[in-house]
Amino acid sequence: MSGARRRAIRTTEAPTPAFAYSQAIASEGLLFVSGQVGIDPTTREVAQGFEGQLRRALENVDAIARAAGASLADAVRVGVYLASGDDFQAMDAVYREYFGEPLPARTTVTVGLQGVAVEVDAVIALGEIP
């Protein structure tokens, strides 16, 4: 890392940030992935339905992890932000498809999201910072 304690990770396989943040920052053996929503990185369209949005958001997180040499399997903490608490059971079922044992630590909260049903962020362990 040329003496730097942190490095931005970028990939075209996840949506380009529209505001002032990095897709992720690698530092001290960890990858801090910014909140990802169900937007297709190519079309910039929001996926259809709650499950479609969650799957796309998780795929975006995974794409960023892969750009840093890791994957969702290396996640140590995941934050899930729901527009509606009614989607918790559906979220948990889809989530289990993407994460194996041991499951990462997780926080799930209902928040006032704008125009999307779900947002996901993560902290992912890195073998070494790329």
More confident call, 127 vs 30? 30
- Take residue 18 and report the two structure tokens written for it: 């529209």
pLDDT score for 32: 98
Q: Where are the alpha helices (DSSP H) in 14-124?
A: 49-67, 88-98
pLDDT higher than threshold 90 for residue 1: no
Per-residue exposure over 17-38, b if at least 16 CB sit within 10 Å of its own CB, e if not: eeeeebbbbbeeebbbbbbbbb
CATH topology of domain 7-125: 60s Ribosomal Protein L30; Chain: A; (3.30.1330)
**pLDDT per residue as tens digits for the range 8-22:** 999 999 999 989 999
Closest by CA to 37, choosing from 23, 58, 18, 51, is: 58
Domain ranges of the chain: 7-125
Write out the DSSP string of 22-41.
Answer: -SEEEETTEEEEEEEESB-T
Residue with tokens 């799930």: 108
What is the C-alpha to C-alpha distance for residues 130 and 126, in angstroms, rounded to an integer? Answer: 9
**pLDDT per residue as tens digits for the range 69-116:** 999 999 999 999 999 999 999 999 999 999 999 999 999 999 999 999
Q: Give the orientation angle of helix 88-98 with respect to helix 49-67, to 10 degrees.
A: 40
